[in-house]
Amino acid sequence: MTGATTAILNPWIGWGILAGFSLLWVLLGWYWGRNTEELDDYVLAGRRVGLALGIATAMATWVTSNTTMAAPQIALQMGVWGMFGYSLGAVGLLMFAPLAGRIRTLMPSGYTSGDFVRLRYGHLAWRVFLLISLCYSLGWLVSMGMAGGVLINALTGIPYHYGMSVILAICVGYTLLGGFRAVIGTDFVQAVLILSGIVLIAVLAIGNIGIDSIYSAVREQRPELLNALMPAAIMFLFNNLLFGIGEIFHSNVWWSRAFSFREGVGTKAYTLAGLLWAPIPIVAGFIALAVPALDVNVPAADMVGPLVAANILGATGAVLVLIMVFAALSSSLDSLLAATSILIVEDGYRRHINPQADSHTLRRATSYSIVGLGVLTWLLCAPRIATLAELLYFTGAFVASTIWPIAAGLYLRRANSAGAVAGMVLGSIAGLYSYFAIGFYVAALVGAAVSMICVVVSLWVGPASFDWRTLSEAEPARDRAS
Amino acid sequence: MPARVLTAAGGSRILKRIVRIASALSREARSPPVGSPAPFLHVFASLLHPMHGSLQTKTRLILLLTAACAAPAGFAQSPGGDAGTQLQTDTSIATAGYFQLRWDAPGAVRLYESPTADFQSAQLVYEGTDSGHAVSGRSDGTLYYRLESAANGESLGMPVRVEVAHHPLGRAIAWFALGAGVFVATLLLIVIGNANADRLAGPPPSRPDGTIE
């Protein structure tokens, strides 16, 4: 059996690739962001993003460390159902498509998902929501920073801390320079790189090993991976689907895009991005099933993707994977940095500390926030306290509990603050309990179910009669809400 | 393991302190007292214990989250191991057919797997200088692992035992049905809500007496 401690690429080749793409991202960030002076330009690209860029940014952002690193891990652990279950993450994008249109209609001047919750449910629900959203954002940022370090280390031998630091520094750098325009523009380039890389790797993998060999080896050595009735995988299926929905429904990453798209673009962009994204985890996960056929040792499940790709394709494959995953991680990190920083500035700084802040002050605060988030993420990534999937799924309990408060809040007048707060708090607690009592593969499911029950019960116990026009009062200059 | 990794990483002293406490709590959580409802609740209870009475609420929250993150990443020695055991597993009961083996041994090693404790029918599953082996896709049963030095064949620590016991299928289907129910309900909410979006966009309907519904 082959070992896997020796990196495929020479570290200097790795440094060269990192340096080349880092320079490219920073230059593009500077170029696209050179004329952004207004706050709306800097944080929402002037609210004029068109369909092509809209599809690319939604798809590229959703292809993250989750897809490129954790999808192979889940395929290795859960088999074919794991692959399929992971691809159901696309349902989140598809279901958010109609919501994006409604958000743009109801809140033409909105900035964040926090704006919606504050205006719709009041301050208590808003603060609970912010806590969940910021915890999730940090978890996502950390999981991607860690993924960058793990991947670069596995492929090039560059120490984890160096790789992780480089990827964080570059993303902070070009997001700072170009704001949301840079994020959207680089996402387009990164989406092309990701799609091309994934397709190429899949074609080469199947050509080099063959489907028959992969199937026979899995059936002999890891039979449960092919079991259509594998219990944990069955439990995982809807958990992952609801986790994906929860991530997208609540996160300001997706709301900020809904606000930034031109009117009429959001629904189409999210629908097409979902359809384009769905096959990616299947392709990425598939290569993990080649482990038995290759007789390669996997020292840790979260390293299986790059290890197998590099093993199958040699140095060329390693270069390809490095470029592709660097693009995937960058496209998500920059989006998250931009979206979380405006959440902190709009919902934290302006609404809690300095309500009179002008556009210039808010823009400067956004820059500080991006840098601060980068530093905090680095500090949390440095210890590498959990594996990627564990860190990722830990947040599932929180985000899934926001599905019903968000969806009901957008469509039902009767949805009310008590139901939203109870749904988010009790859903999170129940989801966390199930995470530890049963497994990561039911945490989001339990969180969503408990939250749904709370919201539905509250519709009958204390229905509200919400005036939707309240939501259009979220312009930066004034706040007449709650 | 979390404490060791974190210390090596050389984070700030405050972070190290938080992590040390959290790791200790997560270790407690992995060995809850008899009758404890669940590991997580035990961690939670630990945080609320008078021992931590001087901690501020925010600090407790940070500890709680850190402990919760650290708990599943930890590696425990197998029930058969002792303090000198170098081969470790992240779980002694694998309910999803996968688990992680890890060791801390200098030089090349050989890892053997056997369905029996006497290793009469053991198979070599890995030889090399890696420090871990991810196992997955295994059917119900008991597996034993033993590590030895590739240089001289000397055993490294005690063997570990892992029991693979998948969740009952009935339970899995019940979870599947629950998930399907939540998903369909959410989908219906959006589809019906979107179909009525125009009607929903206006002000709340008024009663005949002029008050708002």
Q: Mutation target for A interface from B136, B187, B211: give the one with most A CBs within 10 A.
A: B136
Per-residue burial over B127-152, b = 16 or more CB atoms within 10 Å of its CB, e = otherwise: bbebebbbbbbbeeeebbbbbbeeee
ipTM of the complex: 0.85
Question: Are B97 and A235 in contact (CB < 8 Å)?
Answer: no
A376 touches chain B (CB under 8 A): no
Residue A447 tokens, joined: 């969180």
In chain B, residues with a C-beta closer than 8 Å to the C-beta of A413 are 200, 204
Per-residue burial over A132-163, b = 16 or more CB atoms within 10 Å of its CB, e = otherwise: bbbbbbbbbbbbbbbbbbbbbbbbbbbebbbb
Looking at per-residue pLDDT, the higher value among A279 and A388 belongs to A279
**CA-CA distance, A396 to A446, in Å (whole number)?**
10
Sign of CA dihedral A357, A362, A364, A368: positive
Give the position of tokens 């996997």. A298
Looking at per-residue pLDDT, the higher value among B99 and A329 belongs to B99
- Arithmetic mean of pLDDT, A159-176: 91
CB atoms within 10 A of CB B58: 8
Q: Is the distance from CB of B31 to CB of B71 less than 8 angstroms?
A: no
DSSP for B160-186, please give it. EEEEE-PPPHHHHHHHHHHHHHHHHHH
| Option in B2, B169, B193 nearest A412 (CB) | B193
CA distance B5 to chain A (A): 6
pLDDT at A108 exceeding the cut of 80: yes
What SS3 state is found at A49?
strand
A130 touches chain B (CB under 8 A): no
**CA-CA distance, B176 to B164, in Å (whole number)?**
21
Q: Which residue of chain A comes nearest to B95, CA vs CA?
A: A232
pTM reported for the whole predicted model: 0.76
CB atoms within 10 A of CB A450: 27
- Pick the closest to residue A90 from A311, A257, A211, A248 (CA basis): A248
Task: Dump pLDDT digits (tens) for B26-82.
Answer: 333 333 333 333 333 333 333 333 333 333 333 333 333 333 333 333 444 444 444
Task: Dump pLDDT digits (tens) for B188-210.
Answer: 999 999 888 766 555 655 555 54
- Arithmetic mean of pLDDT, A294-320: 80
**CA-CA distance, A293 to A1, in Å (whole number)?**
11
In chain A, residues with a C-beta closer than 8 Å to the C-beta of B192 are 411
**B-contacting residues of A 284-323, CB under 8 Å?**
297-301, 304
Question: Are B41 and A433 in contact (CB < 8 Å)?
Answer: yes
Q: Is the distance from CB of B97 to CB of B139 less than 8 angstroms?
A: yes
Sheet with strand B160-164: strands edge to edge = B93-94, B160-164, B141-149, B109-114, B123-128
Q: Is the distance from CB of A66 to CB of A387 less than 8 angstroms?
A: no
- Arithmetic mean of pLDDT, B142-152: 93
**Do the bridges between strand B160-164 and strand B93-94 make them parallel or antiparallel, or are there none, so unpaired?**
parallel
